[in-house]
Every structure is written in C-alpha cells, then in structure tokens.
C-alpha cells in the first residue's frame, strides 16, 4: 500500500513552445508516512499532486497506487480509483454550500453507491476525529475557516483511502490553526495508515513530515532524509 511515481514527465503546450512541468520525477510514499513537497511557485508542486491524483495522465512514466499502475486506465477506471483509493484535501475547503458538515462526508459514500444512512456512523466517527462532532448540522457558511478545513480533511478520509493528497491546507489559516491542521493530518496519517503527500509552501510545517521532497523546475532536487517513518 503506497503511492509510487516513477520517471514521470509532464509537458504542457505553452503558446508556440512547450513547458516541462515535471521532468523525470520519481517519488515513493510508503503507507503511514507523510511526505512534504516543497518548492517555489511554478516549480511543479501542483502538477505533481494532479498527476498523483490521476487528474492528469503523464506523458511518460508510471503512477502506481497500491502497486497498481494507473497509466493506461480508462477515464471511468480512474474515476473509480479516485473514489476508492485517493483522498483529496483541497487548498480551499471546497465544501458544497447546500450540505451540512455531516452531509459533506455522506456525499462521498453516496458517490460510491452506498446509502447516506449506511455512511452515517463513519461520517460521525470522522467528524469526531477532527473535533467537529458538535458541528455536524452546520453548513459551510456557519463554520469558521479552520472548521471548514477540518471537514475537508474528514471528507478526504471518508472512503478509507490508501493515498491522501493534501494541497496547501494552511494557506487560508493563521499559523496556530495551520499548525493544528497539519498536526491533525499527521495524526490521521498514522492512525489510518495512508500514504500522505502534503504540498506546502510553509516551511514551519516541515518538521512534522517523515520525508521532504523539494521540487525545482519540475525536478525533485533531493529528498531530505528525515526518515521518521514509524
């Protein structure tokens, strides 16, 4: 159970020229570990996350989830895979305005063909895990920024994913709330055994990571060896 990118290259058309967003990127994220991906703006962090989320198919290289190569899969297979194996924590919470906090989690189960009622116990358990058991009936506009981000995290874990992809989760939060969110992600990574990738520009969160991958000009410069996987 892990996320593995091998020799991934991604090239975008850029006017008359071509822009290499990812250049021969190899990254291995074992289960129960958190890999922080850092780098300056435009370095390829978001492209790396999009490729890992199977939202973009790379030009060359392979993306494996649970030792299953996703390159060559049909769009429908990728949608199924994303629903069952990948949890995504968006930079903005991206909560649906008409749903309560509890329903934000239930909808993920409904997308997977389960009934909302059947998903209720797990949704409540996850809301409890992120400290929002008392806010289950509130809609996004009734929650604070930090609370919305915690719902975002709980939603990502609803289908018990193998891989958790986290995109700049603290960009809209103050330092203290940001730290609490990162701590929560680390705790859930250990607890749920996910292979977690955390894209961040905030270097203060790096201490929480097991590994640090620095991206520059589409290449992973080096892994910082803080090998602290459990």
Partner 1 sequence: MFVGWRDLRFAKGRFALMGTVIVLITLLVGLLSGLTAGLGRQNVSAITGLPADRIAFDVPSAGQSLSYSGTTVTESQWRRWSAVDGVTSAEPLGITTTRATSGDRSAGVSVFGVRPGSALAPDGARTRDGSVVLSTGAADGLGLHSGGTLTLAGRKLHVTAVAGDASFSHTPVIWTSLDTWRAAAPTAAAAPGGPTASVIALRTTGGVDTKAADLAAGTRTVTKGDSLSAIGSYTSENGSLQLMRGFLFAISALVIGAFFTVWTIQRRGDVAVLKALGASTASLLRDALGQAVVLLTAGTLIGTAGAAAVGAALAGTAVPFLVTPTTVVLPAAVIILLGACGAALAIRRITSVDPLTALGSAR
The span from the CA of 101 to the CA of 32, in Å, is: 26
The answer to whether residue 107 forms part of the interface with partner 1 (CB under 8 A) is yes
Nearer to partner 1, 98 or 227 (CB): 98
Taking CB under 8 A as the criterion, the residue among 110, 118, 191, 207 binding partner 1 is 110
Residues in 44-63 that interact with partner 1 by CB under 8 A:
46, 49-50, 53, 55-56
What one-character-per-residue DSSP string does 130-185 give?
Answer: TT-GGGTT--GGGS-HHHHHHHHHHHHTTT--SEEEEE-TTTTS-HHHHHHHHHHH
Contact mark string toward partner 1, 117..156, x via CB under 8 A: ----------------------x---------------x-
Within positions 158 to 177, which residues make up the interface with partner 1, using CB under 8 A?
Answer: 159, 167-168, 171
To the nearest whole angstrom, how small is the minimum distance from the Cβ of residue 226 to partner 1?
A: 26
Looking at the chain, the number of H-run helices and the number of E-run strands are: 6, 10
Interatomic CA distance for residues 48 and 228, integer angstroms? 23
Nearer to partner 1, 141 or 176 (CB): 141
Q: What distance in Å separates the CA atoms of residue 118 and residue 120, rounded to the nearest whole number?
A: 6
46, with CB counted inside 10 A (0-12, 13-18, 19+), is middle
Binding site for partner 1 (CB under 8 A): 46, 49-50, 53, 55-56, 76, 79-80, 82-84, 86, 88, 90-92, 94, 96-99, 103, 106-108, 110-112, 116, 139, 155, 159, 167-168, 171
């Amino acid at each position: 159970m892990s996320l593995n990118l091998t020799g991934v290259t991604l090239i975008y058309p850029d006017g008359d020229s071509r822009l290499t967003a990812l250049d021969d990127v190899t990254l291995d994220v074992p289960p129960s570990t958190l890999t922080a991906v850092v780098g300056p703006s435009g370095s390829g962090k978001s492209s790396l996350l999009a490729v890992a989320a199977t939202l973009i198919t790379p030009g060359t290289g392979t993306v494996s989830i649970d030792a299953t190569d996703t390159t060559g899969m049909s769009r429908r297979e990728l949608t199924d895979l994303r629903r069952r194996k990948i949890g995504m924590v968006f930079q903005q919470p991206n909560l649906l305005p008409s749903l309560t906090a509890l329903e934000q989690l239930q909808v993920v189960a409904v997308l997977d063909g389960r009934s909302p009622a059947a998903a209720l116990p797990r949704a409540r358990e996850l809301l409890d895990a992120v400290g929002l058991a008392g806010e289950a009936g509130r809609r996004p506009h009734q929650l604070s920024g930090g609370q919305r981000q915690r719902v975002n995290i709980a939603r990502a874990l609803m289908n018990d994913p193998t891989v958790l992809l986290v995109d700049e989760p603290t960009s809209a939060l103050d330092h203290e709330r940001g730290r609490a969110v990162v701590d929560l992600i680390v705790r859930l990574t250990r607890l749920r055994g996910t292979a977690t990738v955390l894209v961040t520009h905030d270097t203060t969160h790096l201490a929480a990571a097991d590994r640090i991958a620095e991206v520059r000009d589409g290449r992973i410069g080096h892994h910082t060896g803080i090998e602290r996987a459990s």
